[in-house]
Protein backbone atom coordinates (compact mmCIF):
# COMPACT_ATOMS: atom_id res chain seq x y z
CA UNK A 1 0.00 0.00 0.00
CA UNK A 2 1.08 3.56 -0.67
CA UNK A 3 1.76 5.50 2.50
CA UNK A 4 0.72 9.13 2.63
CA UNK A 5 1.73 12.03 4.84
CA UNK A 6 -1.20 14.23 5.84
CA UNK A 7 -0.78 17.95 5.30
CA UNK A 8 -3.05 20.94 5.78
CA UNK A 9 -3.40 21.07 2.00
CA UNK A 10 -3.66 17.50 0.69
CA UNK A 11 -1.99 14.13 1.37
CA UNK A 12 1.60 13.76 0.21
CA UNK A 13 2.74 10.23 -0.53
CA UNK A 14 6.02 8.94 0.83
CA UNK A 15 6.98 8.19 -2.77
CA UNK A 16 6.57 11.89 -3.56
CA UNK A 17 8.68 12.89 -0.55
CA UNK A 18 11.32 10.32 -1.43
CA UNK A 19 11.35 11.41 -5.06
CA UNK A 20 11.65 15.07 -4.06
CA UNK A 21 14.49 14.25 -1.68
CA UNK A 22 16.42 12.36 -4.33
CA UNK A 23 15.65 15.11 -6.84
CA UNK A 24 16.96 17.81 -4.48
CA UNK A 25 20.25 15.98 -3.92
CA UNK A 26 20.82 14.87 -7.52
CA UNK A 27 19.79 18.23 -8.97
CA UNK A 28 22.15 20.10 -6.66
CA UNK A 29 25.10 17.81 -7.41
CA UNK A 30 24.43 17.92 -11.15
CA UNK A 31 24.16 21.72 -11.09
CA UNK A 32 27.40 21.94 -9.12
CA UNK A 33 29.32 19.68 -11.53
CA UNK A 34 27.86 21.46 -14.55
CA UNK A 35 28.83 24.83 -13.10
CA UNK A 36 32.42 23.66 -12.63
CA UNK A 37 32.59 22.38 -16.20
CA UNK A 38 30.95 25.59 -17.43
CA UNK A 39 33.64 27.72 -15.83
CA UNK A 40 33.48 31.45 -15.15
CA UNK A 41 34.36 34.22 -17.53
CA UNK A 42 37.18 36.58 -16.62
CA UNK A 43 37.71 40.23 -17.57
CA UNK A 44 34.14 41.25 -16.92
CA UNK A 45 32.44 37.95 -16.26
CA UNK A 46 29.25 37.33 -18.18
CA UNK A 47 29.22 41.01 -19.07
CA UNK A 48 32.47 40.60 -21.01
CA UNK A 49 32.87 41.55 -24.65
CA UNK A 50 31.76 38.90 -27.12
CA UNK A 51 35.39 38.27 -28.07
CA UNK A 52 36.18 37.28 -24.48
CA UNK A 53 33.11 35.04 -24.45
CA UNK A 54 34.16 33.40 -27.74
CA UNK A 55 37.63 32.67 -26.39
CA UNK A 56 36.20 31.09 -23.24
CA UNK A 57 33.62 29.02 -25.14
CA UNK A 58 36.21 27.69 -27.58
CA UNK A 59 38.46 26.77 -24.66
CA UNK A 60 35.59 25.02 -22.85
CA UNK A 61 34.38 22.01 -24.90
CA UNK A 62 31.59 21.24 -22.44
CA UNK A 63 30.10 24.73 -22.64
CA UNK A 64 27.10 23.87 -24.82
CA UNK A 65 25.97 20.61 -23.16
CA UNK A 66 26.38 21.87 -19.59
CA UNK A 67 24.04 24.78 -20.28
CA UNK A 68 21.32 22.28 -21.17
CA UNK A 69 22.14 20.27 -18.03
CA UNK A 70 21.95 23.41 -15.86
CA UNK A 71 18.56 24.22 -17.37
CA UNK A 72 17.28 20.74 -16.53
CA UNK A 73 18.66 21.11 -13.00
CA UNK A 74 16.67 24.30 -12.42
CA UNK A 75 13.53 22.46 -13.53
CA UNK A 76 14.40 19.79 -10.96
CA UNK A 77 14.47 22.49 -8.29
CA UNK A 78 10.97 23.52 -9.34
CA UNK A 79 9.72 20.01 -8.56
CA UNK A 80 11.41 20.20 -5.15
CA UNK A 81 9.73 23.55 -4.44
CA UNK A 82 6.32 22.06 -5.18
CA UNK A 83 6.95 19.14 -2.83
CA UNK A 84 8.29 21.35 -0.02
CA UNK A 85 5.33 23.68 -0.20
CA UNK A 86 2.98 20.71 0.25
CA UNK A 87 4.50 19.89 3.64
CA UNK A 88 2.52 20.76 6.76
CA UNK A 89 3.36 23.82 8.81
CA UNK A 90 3.05 27.55 9.08
CA UNK A 91 -0.57 28.04 8.16
CA UNK A 92 -1.80 30.47 5.52
CA UNK A 93 1.29 32.70 5.58
CA UNK A 94 3.60 29.81 4.78
CA UNK A 95 1.17 28.54 2.15
CA UNK A 96 0.93 31.74 0.11
CA UNK A 97 4.63 32.57 0.44
CA UNK A 98 5.42 29.04 -0.69
CA UNK A 99 3.14 29.33 -3.71
CA UNK A 100 4.68 32.72 -4.53
CA UNK A 101 8.18 31.20 -4.38
CA UNK A 102 7.14 28.46 -6.81
CA UNK A 103 5.61 30.99 -9.22
CA UNK A 104 8.74 33.16 -9.00
CA UNK A 105 10.96 30.18 -9.80
CA UNK A 106 8.73 29.17 -12.73
CA UNK A 107 9.05 32.72 -14.11
CA UNK A 108 12.81 32.67 -13.58
CA UNK A 109 13.18 29.35 -15.37
CA UNK A 110 11.15 30.64 -18.32
CA UNK A 111 13.51 33.59 -18.69
CA UNK A 112 16.63 31.54 -17.97
CA UNK A 113 15.62 29.03 -20.65
CA UNK A 114 16.32 31.67 -23.29
CA UNK A 115 19.74 32.32 -21.78
CA UNK A 116 20.68 28.65 -21.49
CA UNK A 117 19.53 27.88 -25.04
CA UNK A 118 21.39 30.90 -26.42
CA UNK A 119 24.53 29.80 -24.59
CA UNK A 120 24.08 26.18 -25.67
CA UNK A 121 23.36 26.83 -29.36
CA UNK A 122 23.88 30.36 -30.68
CA UNK A 123 27.02 31.40 -28.77
CA UNK A 124 29.05 28.22 -29.59
CA UNK A 125 28.16 28.60 -33.27
CA UNK A 126 29.33 32.22 -33.31
CA UNK A 127 32.46 31.28 -31.37
CA UNK A 128 33.34 28.56 -33.88
CA UNK A 129 32.74 30.89 -36.83
CA UNK A 130 34.89 33.55 -35.16
CA UNK A 131 37.76 31.11 -34.58
CA UNK A 132 37.75 29.96 -38.22
CA UNK A 133 37.24 33.38 -39.84
CA UNK A 134 39.76 35.78 -41.31
CA UNK A 135 40.55 38.91 -39.25
CA UNK A 136 38.14 41.11 -41.24
CA UNK A 137 35.34 38.59 -40.86
CA UNK A 138 36.17 38.17 -37.19
CA UNK A 139 35.42 41.86 -36.61
CA UNK A 140 31.99 41.41 -38.20
CA UNK A 141 31.26 38.34 -36.08
CA UNK A 142 32.36 40.19 -32.94
CA UNK A 143 29.97 43.01 -33.84
CA UNK A 144 27.14 40.48 -34.20
CA UNK A 145 28.17 38.88 -30.93
CA UNK A 146 28.20 42.24 -29.16
CA UNK A 147 24.64 42.86 -30.35
CA UNK A 148 23.53 39.49 -29.00
CA UNK A 149 25.48 40.08 -25.80
CA UNK A 150 24.04 43.52 -25.07
CA UNK A 151 20.49 42.98 -26.30
CA UNK A 152 19.87 39.44 -25.08
CA UNK A 153 22.53 37.67 -23.09
CA UNK A 154 23.44 40.25 -20.43
CA UNK A 155 19.81 41.19 -19.57
CA UNK A 156 18.89 37.50 -19.38
CA UNK A 157 21.95 36.74 -17.27
CA UNK A 158 20.66 39.22 -14.70
CA UNK A 159 17.48 37.16 -14.36
CA UNK A 160 19.52 34.17 -13.19
CA UNK A 161 20.58 35.58 -9.79
CA UNK A 162 17.36 37.59 -9.45
CA UNK A 163 14.64 35.10 -10.36
CA UNK A 164 16.25 31.65 -10.28
CA UNK A 165 18.78 31.72 -7.44
CA UNK A 166 17.38 34.84 -5.78
CA UNK A 167 13.75 35.74 -5.15
CA UNK A 168 12.34 32.17 -5.24
CA UNK A 169 14.78 30.90 -2.60
CA UNK A 170 14.36 34.02 -0.47
CA UNK A 171 10.57 33.60 -0.49
CA UNK A 172 10.84 29.88 0.21
CA UNK A 173 13.15 30.53 3.15
CA UNK A 174 10.90 33.28 4.45
CA UNK A 175 7.92 30.94 4.24
CA UNK A 176 9.50 28.25 6.39
CA UNK A 177 11.94 30.08 8.66
CA UNK A 178 9.22 30.92 11.21
CA UNK A 179 6.91 27.97 10.64
CA UNK A 180 6.99 26.07 13.97
CA UNK A 181 5.38 22.94 12.58
CA UNK A 182 7.42 22.80 9.39
CA UNK A 183 8.91 19.39 8.69
CA UNK A 184 12.18 20.93 7.45
CA UNK A 185 14.94 22.14 9.82
CA UNK A 186 14.79 25.88 10.40
CA UNK A 187 18.45 26.32 9.50
CA UNK A 188 17.80 25.08 5.94
CA UNK A 189 15.18 27.81 5.60
CA UNK A 190 17.75 30.36 6.76
CA UNK A 191 20.18 29.11 4.10
CA UNK A 192 17.56 29.62 1.41
CA UNK A 193 16.58 33.04 2.76
CA UNK A 194 20.13 34.40 3.08
CA UNK A 195 21.43 32.90 -0.15
CA UNK A 196 18.35 33.92 -2.13
CA UNK A 197 18.29 37.49 -0.78
CA UNK A 198 21.99 37.95 -1.53
CA UNK A 199 21.59 36.59 -5.07
CA UNK A 200 18.59 38.83 -5.74
CA UNK A 201 20.44 41.95 -4.54
CA UNK A 202 23.43 41.02 -6.73
CA UNK A 203 21.29 40.61 -9.82
CA UNK A 204 19.40 43.81 -9.07
CA UNK A 205 22.62 45.81 -8.68
CA UNK A 206 23.99 44.42 -11.95
CA UNK A 207 20.76 45.21 -13.81
CA UNK A 208 21.03 48.80 -12.54
CA UNK A 209 24.49 49.07 -14.05
CA UNK A 210 26.59 48.88 -10.89
CA UNK A 211 29.43 46.39 -10.64
CA UNK A 212 30.58 46.81 -7.05
CA UNK A 213 29.62 43.18 -6.42
CA UNK A 214 31.94 40.95 -8.50
CA UNK A 215 30.45 38.00 -10.34
CA UNK A 216 32.78 35.65 -8.46
CA UNK A 217 30.74 36.37 -5.32
CA UNK A 218 27.81 34.62 -6.96
CA UNK A 219 29.78 31.45 -7.65
CA UNK A 220 32.01 31.50 -4.55
CA UNK A 221 29.56 32.61 -1.84
CA UNK A 222 25.89 32.58 -2.86
CA UNK A 223 25.75 29.35 -4.84
CA UNK A 224 27.50 27.27 -2.14
CA UNK A 225 24.68 28.31 0.23
CA UNK A 226 22.16 27.02 -2.31
CA UNK A 227 24.13 23.79 -2.76
CA UNK A 228 24.18 23.18 1.00
CA UNK A 229 20.45 23.93 1.09
CA UNK A 230 19.79 21.43 -1.72
CA UNK A 231 21.71 18.57 -0.10
CA UNK A 232 20.36 19.19 3.41
CA UNK A 233 16.78 19.59 2.17
CA UNK A 234 17.06 16.37 0.18
CA UNK A 235 18.32 14.47 3.22
CA UNK A 236 15.52 15.96 5.35
CA UNK A 237 12.86 14.91 2.83
CA UNK A 238 14.27 11.38 2.66
CA UNK A 239 14.23 11.14 6.46
CA UNK A 240 10.66 12.43 6.50
CA UNK A 241 9.65 9.76 3.98
CA UNK A 242 11.41 7.01 5.94
CA UNK A 243 9.73 7.97 9.21
CA UNK A 244 6.23 8.16 7.73
**What's the pLDDT at 81?**
93
> Above 90 in pLDDT, residue 52?
no
Least confident residue range of 63-77, 174-188, 215-229: 174-188
Q: Give the predicted TM-score (pTM) of the model.
A: 0.86
Q: Where are the domains of the chain?
A: 4-243
* Higher per-residue confidence, 75 vs 8: 75
Average pLDDT over residues 97-102: 93
Secondary structure of the chain as H, E, C letters: CCCEECCCCCCEEHHHHHHHHHHHHHHHHHHHHHHHHHCCCCCCHHHCCHHHHHHHHHCCCCHHHHHHHHHHHHHHHHHHHHHHCCCCCCHHHHHHHHHHHHHHHHHHHHHHHHHHHHHHHHHHHHHHHHHHCCHHHHHHHHHHHHHHHHHHHHHHHHHHHHHCCCHHHHHHHHHHHCCCCCCCCHHHHHHHHHHHHHHHHHHHHHHCCCCCCCCHHHHHHHHHHHHHHHHHHHHHHHHHHHHC
* Higher per-residue confidence, 37 vs 5: 37
- Average pLDDT over the chain reads 85
* Higher per-residue confidence, 215 vs 243: 243
User: Best-predicted range by mean pLDDT among 45-49, 178-182, 191-195, 220-224?
Assistant: 191-195
**What's the pLDDT at 103?**
96
Average pLDDT over residues 144-154: 87
Average pLDDT over residues 61-86: 92
Amino acid sequence: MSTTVATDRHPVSTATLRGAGVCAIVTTIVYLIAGILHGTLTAGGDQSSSETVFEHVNATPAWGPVNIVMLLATIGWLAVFVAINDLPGGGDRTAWLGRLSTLALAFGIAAATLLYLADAIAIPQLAQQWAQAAPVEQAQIVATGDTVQNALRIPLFHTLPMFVLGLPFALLGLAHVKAPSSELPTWTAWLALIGGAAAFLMGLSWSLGTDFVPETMLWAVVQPLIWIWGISTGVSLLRRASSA
